[in-house]
Structure 1
Amino acid sequence: MGTHGDLGNTLKWKPPFPDMTEVFKTHTKKAINDAVALVNAPRRTSRFDVISAWKALLAANGPKDILNNVRLLNARAEINEEVEKQTHTPPKFSKDGKIAVLRINSEMQVHGVIATRWAGYLNSKALEIIMVANSGYRPGYVNFSCRIARSARSRDPPVNIITSLKAAADLDTGDLVERMGESFARGHKEASGGIIPAAEFEELMTLMKIGEKPDLKPDDTTKKSKASPQKNNLMNYFAKK
């Protein structure tokens, strides 16, 4: 369940992974997916209730037992409500359009869920990475999760989130990388994130040029200069007809 939950239901179960043919004959992928979501739910709450998930796993003989666990069902409902509340935050883009950042303030660990959701929704030629930054999960820090935008998953060369994050941090001429610590750009190339002090996160946003307007292309300037003058003005409005 752990491997299936982390790598998704598109994973081909070939070595070094075990042969899951018989398992999927007994338990459907949907049941396993739903069980994974339920097991993950308690730790995402503000109580970080990992013990409930652990007890549910120990007591279960299969995914169906987990699907009927009341505590896990309540936790998932709680998380779903918070995700729905926070997920409508409008994104801000980097100057080059490659990174979209959504900022939320939640005591729950929902930034990864929201990043995954937006990664499947936002779409543009330039967009590569979705980042959701949560300033409410740990006081004084920003927990952030990054996912590759669906529209960028087939890019060549492939998008590497960790490389992109580190490249942005390396633009700093001081000691930002050291101050952010070892919890910056953790995970893997397609799903990374970190936990860094709030002040350092703002420095990172500046280096990424989040919220800055892109430079106008020469064609855009030409189009504006050739725009027809406005015909409706005050003099015309009050002129006798």
Structure 2
Amino acid sequence: MVRILYIEDESDIGSWVKNDLEERGYEVYWLKSGEDAEKYVPEADIAILDVMLPGLDGFSIGKRMKKEKSDLPVLMLSARTAVEDKLEGLSFADDYLTKPFQPDELAARIEVLLRRFQKNDQVLELHHLSVHTKDLRIINRDNGSEIQLTGKQYQLFQYFIRHLNQILTKEQLYEGVWGEQYLEGDKTLMVHIRYLREKIEKNPSRPKVIETIRGIGYRVKR
């Protein structure tokens, strides 16, 4: 599961962002100041920092994080829209998002940063598949062939891999991949999962890779 270190002192905004990101399948460590941030940096996959904080400001905290862990993507959030502030933030941070913002935009920027900072290629063994995490190449070990996915199939499978072992609701999957609110009764997700299963499962009628969790959603389990 992707772990987000989030620092925001305003309770209403912090609670709203934390809840939204957790609904999308992220694990969120929310702090109201940078006082204990260094304890969370080693385990964090990405940091999201407000600029205006009690004590050290977000710029100072972000610079310290980058010095401690240079490959940690840092996204700055701020109501300060002046060019000078953005330039200062982008002198060390990897993205700068101004308030107010839509949750879908924040989630999209998080995904972009995670892809940009993805670690060296790892190979996941999922039943009969070998999945190369860096470029998401999928090899069928039974015959050595590479499985080709379409754009949305690729994005959907990538979302599963980013949230490996986690049960994902239809709402999480649809909003995470399509970037839109899921409407009950919409068959788009179900159709894409069916086509994805036809490509990656040994027996699509009895799927082992993408499990159906009855009444909740789906899961890819290692």
Bigger radius of gyration? 1
TM-score normalized by the length of structure 1: 0.27
Higher helix share: 1
Higher strand share: 2
TM-score normalized by the length of structure 2: 0.28
